[in-house]
Amino acid sequence: MELHQRAWLEKRSFVLLPNKLKLYLKDTEGEYENYISYENLKSEAQIRCRKNSKLLFVTIAAISFAICILLQGLLINQGFNYAIVVLLTIAAIFATLYQVKKQNYVIVETFDRKKVIFLRDKPNRQALEKFLNQLWRHRKKYLREKYFYINHNHDLKQQTERLRWLLEQNIITKAEFKSAQEDWIIDKTYQS
């Protein structure tokens, strides 16, 4: 499954592979391609919003100046001043730019403190939710196939650590964790 996202001077593509996530980014600084293994992805996503503080500051400053000029005109009975209209127009333009540039993200972190950043509304929320659900399913299937087994050559501590990690990542349930531990202990007893 693939997800393609476009934003202001930026293109992002995400591809689910059997054992990893492929990332592709093209922006004004160049093209980047990266792969992140399913083992390295954390099992939760966060929603964040990036706001352009400079645009917000200019908007608030333009509105403040317009109010100051209006109050000054009212205090000295100067009448209507066209500077107010100009400043309010500038403020409206910057407020619109601020809203357009504000971007919502869904962030999936990795165990090595990197971040996979998805644009929340590109192409739309439903497409992103569908892709993320597929990502979690692919990840779960891959990790179960690779790590959810009993190895009689390893000791109980190694088996338990691996199973506990699978449990923490929501790959297996508590019942599966307990059952696997009991099976390992029973099998080990019969081998002795």
Whether the pLDDT of residue 189 is over 50: the answer is no
Distance of CA 35 to the CA centre of its chain: 16
pLDDT-wise least confident of 44-48, 83-87, 131-135, 178-182: 83-87
- Condensed to tens digits (0 to 9), the pLDDT of residues 103-141 reads 788 999 999 989 998 988 888 889 999 999 999 999 999
In this model, does residue 33 exceed pLDDT 70?
yes
Best CA proximity match to 142, nearest among 179, 171, 112: 171
Who's near 60: CB < 8 A, 6+ residues apart?
Answer: none
Nearest residue to 10 (alpha-carbon basis) of 106, 122, 162: 122
Determine the 3-state secondary structure of 46 from DSSP.
Answer: strand
- pLDDT at site 79: 62
User: Can you give the pLDDT at residue 132?
Assistant: 93
Q: Residue 77: is it exposed, middle or buried by C-beta count within 10 angstroms (0-12/13-18/19+)?
A: exposed
Task: Look up residue 38 and give its DSSP letter.
Answer: G
The 10s digit of each residue's pLDDT in 56-102 is: 788 888 888 878 877 777 777 766 667 777 777 888 888 887 777 77
User: How far is the C-alpha of 153 from the C-alpha of 159, rounded, in Å?
Assistant: 10
